[in-house]
Amino acid sequence: MNEIINRDYRKRNNLEWFNDNYFIAVYDSNDNYITSFENIEMVPTVFNIKLKKILESIRNDTKLEYNNLKLKLYIYKKDKIEENVRRR
């Protein structure tokens, strides 16, 4: 997982690599699923937090505060079979 977090996401090819292979899921403090993001660039725009801070939160296993809620972000690998079906 450190390989995923430690990449330089200012580089376009790294953003594309992440978007092709991973997605981010958001849970509340009670482990209830809230939403997910297929595109890493969407996360900072929704939470109004820099991408660097979001990646730090994931790396350090800390919660983000948003609208008086404590949220936890997880990275999941995309299912490649599903991707192949979408492309057809």
Closest of 63, 61, 75, 64 to residue 17, by C-alpha? 75
pTM confidence score: 0.74
Q: Give pLDDT tens digits for 1-18.
A: 556 666 666 667 778 888
Average pLDDT over every residue of 60-86? 82
Helix (H) or strand (E) run with residue 35 in it: strand 33-37
Specify whether the CB–CB gap between 58 and 64 falls below 8 A: no
Contact yes or no for 15/9 (Cβ under 8 A):
yes
Tokens coding 24: 């981010």
Give residue 26's pLDDT band: very low, low, confident or very high (50, 70, 90).
very high
Mean pLDDT of 51-78: 89
Average pLDDT over residues 29-57: 90
